[in-house]
């Protein structure tokens, strides 16, 4: 009995110390996490919420001028690798718009590709439709030899891509796909140089028109392609998912992964990753800023599948 008790306590100790406490990043506001396993570490490519003064960006709104990347080998101790890209470095971005929204970062053939949205220079002149979220945004890519940079942005945004929340998925055959959101979800094949589209964008039309949808994130498990995304059902965004047997669909709605915010954080934004044989769900919440939900903090919880490959609902482990 004693040895059983010691083993249980040991397991409890290992389990508790192998998973960090939320929020993961505590010295700055971070959001929109894409988690990727690179080598023996987990990296988070995240948005960076700051507080702007009344002359910068849109008052009382997102204020986002740059990105940091973080890494950890145990999900508890996180290293901030510092600022990897800012709006002032991107030749095509409007450096007065503070609109460096949700990014994605991914490795291919030893190079690191960082995809990000921003309002482009001159966007005021383009007659965008303010009713459509993301309609004045373009998406660009910056390239580095190491996940923590330095990243060099391309001269121009990616042609034929208008919108926000880029996500890249690379299939087993090496083909990369780019997804993004502009009222609808769009998807296209990426060229092998990862800098331009190889196919025309298609609208992933299987998703409901009602309620704002954004933040597509695609992953694959056992031949099933999962498209996860935030969707405003009533008041705030909840995370839903759909599945397909092909990266570009058609997708079938499967259910809700995480319900709407219990404390009225209007946005949520997710990624899913397998690290050391456990699946994790990364998301954000306004844990450290209960009165202003545009200052958010990155969180993570374990994710489990049932025997049919369906995702079990997650209750956020708030403080
Ligand atoms: O972080 C700014 C925007 O809020 C993101 O692009 C959306 O996904 C939402 O999280």
Q: Ligand 1, closest atom to CA 165?
A: 6
Ligand 1 centre distance from Cα of residue 185 (Å): 14
Q: How many CA atoms lie within 13 A of 27 on its CB side?
A: 7
Strand-by-strand arrangement of the 111-119 sheet:
104-108, 111-119, 137-144, 152-153
Angle at 154 (CA atoms; ends 149, 159), nearest 5 degrees:
135
Average pLDDT value over all residues in the chain? 92
SS3 (DSSP) at 119: strand
**Each residue of 141-186: pLDDT tens digit?**
999 999 999 999 999 999 999 999 999 999 999 999 999 999 999 9
**Within a 10 A sphere around the Cβ of 263, how many other Cβ atoms?**
12
Check whether 133 has a pLDDT greater than 70: no
Mutate to test the pocket of ligand 1, among 48, 49, 62, 182 (most ligand atoms within 8 A of CB): 62
Check whether 281 has a pLDDT greater than 90: yes
pLDDT in the model for residue 148: 98
In DSSP notation, 44-110 reads: EEEEEE----TTSSSTTS--B-EEEEEEESSSSS-EEEEEEEEGGG-TTB-TTS-B----EEEEETT
Check whether 130 has a pLDDT greater than 70: no
How far is residue 239's CA from residue 130's CA, in Å, rounded to a whole number?
A: 24
Q: Residue 278: enclosing H or E segment and its boundaries?
A: strand 278-285
Tell me, using a 6 A CB cutoff, whether residue 269 lines ligand 1.
yes
Ligand 1 centre distance from Cα of residue 44 (Å): 15
The closest of 237, 235, 289, 288 to 259, measured between CA atoms, is 237
Mutate to test the pocket of ligand 1, among 47, 100, 139 (most ligand atoms within 8 A of CB): 47
pLDDT in the model for residue 8: 47
pLDDT in the model for residue 208: 85
How far is residue 137's CA from residue 248's CA, in Å, rounded to a whole number?
A: 22
**Each residue of 48-60: pLDDT tens digit?**
999 988 888 888 8
pLDDT in the model for residue 318: 84
Ligand 1 centre distance from Cα of residue 273 (Å): 19
Angle at 18 (CA atoms; ends 12, 24), nearest 5 degrees:
125
Ligand 1 centre distance from Cα of residue 294 (Å): 9
Q: For ligand 1, atom 2, name the residue with the nearest CA.
A: 101
Handedness of CA 114, 119, 121, 125 (dihedral sign): positive
Q: For ligand 1, atom 3, name the residue with the nearest CA.
A: 101
Mutate to test the pocket of ligand 1, among 30, 269, 292 (most ligand atoms within 8 A of CB): 269
User: What ipTM was assigned to the predicted interfaces of this complex?
Assistant: 0.99
Which of 120-139 are b and which e, b meaning 16 or more Cβ less than 10 Å from the residue's Cβ? Answer: bbebeeeeeeeeebbbbbbb
């Amino acid at each position: 009995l004693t040895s059983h008790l010691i083993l249980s306590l040991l397991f409890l100790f290992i389990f508790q110390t192998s998973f960090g406490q939320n929020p993961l990043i505590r010295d700055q506001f971070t959001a929109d996490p894409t988690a990727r396993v690179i080598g023996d570490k987990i990296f988070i490519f995240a948005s960076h919420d700051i507080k702007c003064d009344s002359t910068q960006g849109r008052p009382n709104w997102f204020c986002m001028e740059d990105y940091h990347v973080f890494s950890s080998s145990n999900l508890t101790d996180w290293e901030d690798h510092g600022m990897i890209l800012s709006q002032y470095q991107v030749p095509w971005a409007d450096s007065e718009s503070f609109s460096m929204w949700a990014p994605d970062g991914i490795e291919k053939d030893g190079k690191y590709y960082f995809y990000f949205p921003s309002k482009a220079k001159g966007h005021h002149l383009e007659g965008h439709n303010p009713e459509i979220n993301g309609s004045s945004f373009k998406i660009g890519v910056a390239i580095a030899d190491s996940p923590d940079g330095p990243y060099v942005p391309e001269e121009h945004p990616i042609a034929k891509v208008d919108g926000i929340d880029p996500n890249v998925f690379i299939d087993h055959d090496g083909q990369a796909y780019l997804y993004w959101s502009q009222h609808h979800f769009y998807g296209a094949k990426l060229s092998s140089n990862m800098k331009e589209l190889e196919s025309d964008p298609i609208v992933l039309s299987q998703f409901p028109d009602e309620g704002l949808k954004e933040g597509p994130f695609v992953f694959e498990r056992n031949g099933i392609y999962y498209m996860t995304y935030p969707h405003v059902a009533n008041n705030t965004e909840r995370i839903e998912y759909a599945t397909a047997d092909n990266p570009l669909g058609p997708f079938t709605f499967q259910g809700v992964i995480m319900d709407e915010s219990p404390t009225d954080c209007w946005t949520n934004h997710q990624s899913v990753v397998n690290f050391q044989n456990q699946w994790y769900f990364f998301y954000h919440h306004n844990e450290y800023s209960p009165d202003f939900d545009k200052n958010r903090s990155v969180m993570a919880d374990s994710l489990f599948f049932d025997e049919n490959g369906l995702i079990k609902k997650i209750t956020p482990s708030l403080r």
